[in-house]
């Protein structure tokens, strides 16, 4: 069952797209039809990610690109619009197709077939990724990385993993905040760091944050089953653990304390 979210500010257009999708493939579930940038951001923050999003470019309170500026979208997107001037910008995001209105059944079927083909190909790469991840985690437990040389102005600053309070992404760069509240850019991705750091002391909270055990000062129950992590030094952005990740976080925190 493919779970689909439709973002479309005209209800008749949203209903028409729903009918077309389910006519082409009955094994789909339309999760919701969202009408604005604001409600789309709120929906994506509070519900599990869909498998696929149909996203109208021009919405009542702005363009859909404002959604990407406020929240990270990891699932594939098919853009829909009455105009084609946004096509180049759309394909710089995680778009797999761009449908012009009025949407024809043949064009929609081609887009869905493209999604299914990519999804099937990704399944193989996901298995390989999980195998590599498991192997790297085994190595990580045996020999986690303890030291880093970090460029700062015209120097290389030696840092220990124990210096890191938390790491996050800012303006496309990974920034490490130390326990003394200093900040350094790290020339690695969060995925690389997640695999290299000691997983008994560091936890991947979400797409944006890796946190150390020592920086956690409070854990608050947050709405929709999530957890809000308070840290020292404090973060200007909320550090949230999703409902799905809460059991993993609790097990990590309790068993490895």
- Per-residue model confidence as pLDDT tens digits over 62-112: 888 888 878 878 788 898 887 666 555 555 566 788 888 889 999 899 989
Question: pLDDT at position 129, please?
Answer: 46
Question: Under DSSP, is residue 173 helix (H, G, I), strand (E, B) or coil?
Answer: strand
Closest listed residue to residue 114, CA positions, set 151, 154, 77:
77
| Residue 159: C-alpha distances to residues 92, 129, 153, 204, 235 (Å) | 35, 29, 15, 20, 20
Question: pLDDT at position 125, please?
Answer: 54
CA–CA gap between residue 211 and residue 174 (Å, rounded): 13
Question: pLDDT at position 70, please?
Answer: 83
pLDDT tens readout for residues 207-247 = 899 999 999 999 999 988 899 999 999 999 999 998 878 88
Average pLDDT (109-119) is 86
CA–CA gap between residue 67 and residue 80 (Å, rounded): 15
Residue of 57 and 233 predicted with greater confidence? 233
Mean pLDDT of the chain: 85
Residue of 230 and 249 predicted with greater confidence? 230
Residue recorded with tokens 């709405």:
223
Residue of 243 and 35 predicted with greater confidence? 35
Question: pLDDT at position 30, please?
Answer: 96
pLDDT tens readout for residues 139-150 = 444 578 899 999
253 contacts 211 by C-beta, under 8 angstroms: no
pLDDT tens readout for residues 182-208 = 999 998 888 889 878 988 899 999 889
CA–CA gap between residue 239 and residue 227 (Å, rounded): 8
User: pTM value?
Assistant: 0.49
Closest listed residue to residue 53, CA positions, set 94, 25, 81, 16:
94
Residue recorded with tokens 């209903």:
15
Average pLDDT (120-137) is 51
């Amino acid at each position: 069952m493919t779970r689909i979210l439709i973002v479309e500010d005209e209800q008749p257009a949203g209903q028409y797209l729903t009918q077309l999708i389910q006519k082409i493939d009955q094994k789909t579930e339309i999760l919701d039809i969202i009408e604005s940038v604001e409600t789309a951001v709120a929906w994506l923050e509070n519900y599990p990610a869909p498998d696929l999003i149909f996203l109208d470019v021009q919405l009542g309170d702005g363009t859909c690109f404002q959604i990407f500026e406020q929240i990270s979208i990891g699932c594939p997107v098919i853009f829909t619009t009455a105009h084609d001037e946004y096509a180049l910008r759309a394909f710089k995001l995680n778009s797999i197709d761009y449908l012009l209105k009025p949407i024809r059944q043949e064009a929609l079927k081609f887009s869905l077939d493209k999604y299914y083909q990519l999804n099937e190909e990704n399944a193989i790469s996901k298995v390989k990724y999980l195998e590599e991840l498991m192997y790297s985690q085994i190595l990580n437990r045996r020999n986690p990385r303890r030291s880093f040389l970090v460029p700062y102005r015209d120097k290389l600053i030696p840092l220990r993993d124990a210096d890191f309070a938390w790491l996050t992404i800012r303006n496309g760069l990974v920034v490490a905040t130390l326990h003394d509240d200093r900040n350094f850019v790290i020339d690695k991705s969060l995925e690389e760091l997640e695999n290299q750091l000691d997983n008994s002391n560091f936890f991947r909270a979400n797409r944006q944050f890796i946190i150390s055990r020592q920086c956690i000062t409070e854990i608050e129950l947050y709405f929709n089953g999530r957890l809000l992590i308070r840290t020292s030094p404090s973060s200007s952005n909320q550090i949230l653990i999703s409902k799905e990740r809460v059991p993993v976080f609790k097990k990590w925190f309790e068993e490895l304390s």
